Structure 1
Amino acid sequence: MRRLVSAFIIALLVLAGSGLILYPTIASWKSQWDQSKVVDSYANLVDHVEPDRREQVQEARQYNDLLASGAVVGSNEHVPHGSGVVDLESNPDVLPYDQQLKAGEAGIMGRIRIPSIDVDLPIYHGTSEETLLKGAGHLEGTSLPVGGDSTRTVITAHRGLPEATLFNNLDQVKEGDTFTLEVFGEVLTYRVFFTQVVEPQDSQAVLVEPGRDLATLITCTPLGVNSHRILVTGERIIPTPAADVDSAGQVSELPRFPWWLPISIAVLLLIAVYLGREIVLYRREARVANR
């Protein structure tokens, strides 16, 4: 009996250890699965918004024209905070920020894809903790992601969460890589030309540059320390590459094959075989002892 009890304890320890090792990968896969379902539904949502998507994009461009842009990346915080404002009292026809580019009740603004690091995420309004647990967030106070001269949109996401990948690999994006923003039927492709690590209070790094159409991606660095911010900036490619236009609205290719699934099955089978063997040996020894 002692041997059988020991076998069950060993099996439980192996099962618990395997679960601890595989949990981040499984949780991240599930998170990407959920995010991909959201982005897959996005194209259908924007086809049925009121007012229609073209009008919403035009309103967003008007909003950008009125925007005084700037942002502060707060010390010891995961995300920056926008300080750009639009004077709504002087411009009563302009919708407030949280009503701009709003697809459905969930408030999805768009979709960001970074092929070089397998990122495909929904973009939401703002950078609250609740928002960034669901996907990427647009930094209020920076240009809405509809392009145009003298604009810089800023998209931010978490890094280092045990249950989601998000912008974990943003530091691996290289100059020359591209990323795309899909926003209400518009496809904007940006080519990375500059990557920098900045101090938390460096707000100059995300200001608009006259005449340029820019997008900056932000996350924390170093991983797990969060003392600085890594900024990856791209300039828009005009015209948008045909391949990116053709892929707009397509079903996400992520998450990829769950390699953890066969490993989990193999571990369970090994545990079952081990326990089965121990049970057979225990019963055999019990029969011998009873003779």
Structure 2
Amino acid sequence: MKKNNVFWRFVFGAGVVCAFLPLMGAWKEGIRANESIQGYEKTVESLNEASIDENWQLLEAYNESLRSNLSWMEYEKVKEHFLPSDIIGYLSIPSIEVRLPIFLGSEEEHLKEGVGHVARSSLPVGGVSSRALLTGHSGLANGRLFSRLDELERGDFFLINVL
């Protein structure tokens, strides 16, 4: 009789752990995303005006090279010369309280922590004929953004913060 009781306690405990694993993962990823955004914000705050202008001109030059079709700047060159990290900014959706870092590139390592920028699309700095493509994956970033999209209503907006 005791063996049967121990078995069911084990099954119940394992079930509870399995039920909470996605929540713990989302919590952990949320902390990591916030740390990435805070690190990015500190880096930008530490830049002087000349560095900010230089970085902004680099982003605009990349977008212009895409429009001219003569020879577009190599994406890796932008990644090398931009801020010390691969984070270009962050996506914020105030109505559902979501903030995710935007990474230069859309590799799996980036999508685990936030949103990726698709190479050969405009960088998210605005301007004429500028179309930035951002990508995410609900199974990688623990669905923080994608599981809450159904909460958005017509007229809600999102912000892209760069420099």
- The CA deviation at 1:110 is 0.6
Corresponding position: 1:60 with 2:59: yes
Tell me the residue number matched to 1:30.
28
Report % sequence identity. Answer: 31
Q: Quick one: distance in 1 between partners of 2:32 and 2:88?
A: 17
Using the size of structure 1 for normalisation, the TM-score is 0.49
Corresponding position: 1:21 with 2:19: yes
Equivalences, count: 162
What CA deviation, in whole Å up to 9, does each residue of 1:173-208 have, x standing for no partner? Answer: 343111111111xxxxxxxxxxxxxxxxxxxxxxxx
Tell me the residue number matched to 2:94.
115
Q: Quick one: distance in 1 between partners of 2:120 and 2:76?
A: 14
Q: Quick one: distance in 1 between partners of 2:34 and 2:73?
A: 35
Does the residue aligned with 1:111 lie in a helix, a strand or coil?
strand
Tell me the residue number matched to 2:39.
41
Provide the alpha-carbon RMSD of the alignment.
2.8
Equivalent runs, 1:1-291 vs 2, <5 Å: 2-3=1-2, 5-49=3-47, 52-68=51-67, 86-88=71-73, 96-99=77-80, 102-104=82-84, 106-161=85-140, 163-184=142-163
* Structure 1: runs of 5 or more not aligned: 70-83, 185-291
- The CA deviation at 1:116 is 2.7
Using the size of structure 2 for normalisation, the TM-score is 0.83
Tell me the residue number matched to 1:263.
none
What CA deviation, in whole Å up to 9, does each residue of 1:109-167 have, x standing for no partner? Answer: 11111123332111111112222112110111111111122211121111234845243
Structure showing greater Rg: 1
- The CA deviation at 1:168 is 3.1
- Decide whether aligned partners of structure 1 residues 148 and 162 sit closer, same or farther in structure 2, where only a CA change above 3 A counts: closer
- Which structure dedicates a bigger proportion of its chain to strand? 1
- Which structure dedicates a bigger proportion of its chain to helix? 2
Do 1:110 and 1:181's aligned partners in 2 also have CA atoms closer than 8 Å? Answer: yes
